[in-house]
Structure 1
């Protein structure tokens, strides 16, 4: 079954729709889906989300389906207010990938993360985690190396190492002590 966008309504931007996101036929949350303006603006989805799929072991599968929908360079924004564990860890200064939400996003193929804990204006909505999918294999490896140097928990370090191994690499390919962009 996978993901479906239902009851979509166009917004004031022609590429933007507001939909109910469903996963395997069940409601997941409200999704703002920007279909992109190639080559200038990539696709993005903002999801106001109740994390029930995590409780059922389906969160990675859900986010992987959204990553496929978005394609390379796509952005997924997940509002995390109903996710107490993620909220608590982010408030305490942990990297997004050190949280349950961020870990699921990493395992779904996203490699760049930002915590929008203080959105810059009214139109941006509430606090959310941004996860970007890489544009290329080289970018994926570079971003994973950066993540390896930033995450704090052993679980997150192991998860990043697993993602590097999927590319046939180890963290030893990552430049040590050098900032990546």
Structure 2
């Protein structure tokens, strides 16, 4: 499946807005790894949109995809929360059970996580949750001058019992956040996202 995705990106295709999305592919550190530089072309202008690292899987090591270097703006328009961001996530999400997405430039997600919003209910985390990733982890852990990367990790599961436990765990995390936070606006957003998340997965469990 990942090989098909790489081929599609190398050939390039038009977005809904008529922009050309294409990628240059390079060999990674080992045979199963592919690096992609993804560009967006508007007329004669071409702008680097993001980088992607794809691991095709090997033995008992599962495949994964990492998206990083995402631009806050593309041709003067916001990227995060846009149709273009949805296109990128929709493009990669079906091809992996493990997806890492950097949020360094995503100010809304960064702010919500800093306020204590559970990762799956942050702006970006919720986008991953809607695409089947029932477990979302924040990899940013400040440690003085040694800091982890600003990225979320999404994990899928086909095990309904694991899915149920993840949702119950998220419910407890939300309850703890609601008790500790004094930001009513952010609390309301987190509650609404959880209701949608729970409803989506109740439907998929039937």
TM-score category of the 2 structures, normalised to the smaller one: 0.7 to 0.9
Q: Is the 8 A contact 2:141 2:148 kept in 1?
A: no
- Larger Cα Rg: Structure 1 or Structure 2? 2
Residue of structure 1 equivalent to 2:199? 162
TM-score by length of 2: 0.65
Q: How many residues align?
A: 161
Partner of 2:124: 101
Residues 1-42 of structure 1 show CA distances to partners (whole Å, capped at 9, x for unaligned) of x9736211112222111102468998641001111114x111
Unaligned 5+ runs, structure 1: 170-181
**Paired residue for 2:58, among 12, 37, 40?**
37
Q: Distance in 1 between matches of 2:103 and 2:54?
A: 17
Give TM-score scaled by structure 1 length: 0.73
CA distance in 2, matches of 1:66, 1:23: 16
Q: Is the 8 A contact 1:119 1:127 kept in 2?
A: no
Alpha-carbon displacement from aligned partner over 1:59-99 (angstroms, at most 9, x marks no partner): 445323322111xxx21111111101111111222211221
For the residues of structure 2 that align with 1:61 and 1:106, how far apart are their CA atoms? 15
> 1:24, 1:68 → 2: CA distance?
24
> 2:88 aligned with 1:62, yes or no?
yes
Q: CA deviation at 1:107?
A: 0.8
The aligned residue for residue 172 of structure 2 is 149
Change (3 A) 1:9 1:107: same
Deviation at 1:130, TM superposition (A): 0.6
Confirm or deny: 8 A CA contact 1:110 1:131 kept in the other structure.
yes
User: Is contact 2:136-2:152 (8 Å) kept?
Assistant: yes
Q: Is the 8 A contact 1:64 1:109 kept in 2?
A: no
Local SS of the residue matching 2:83: coil
Question: Per the alignment, in what secondary structure is the counterpart of residue 4 of structure 1?
Answer: helix
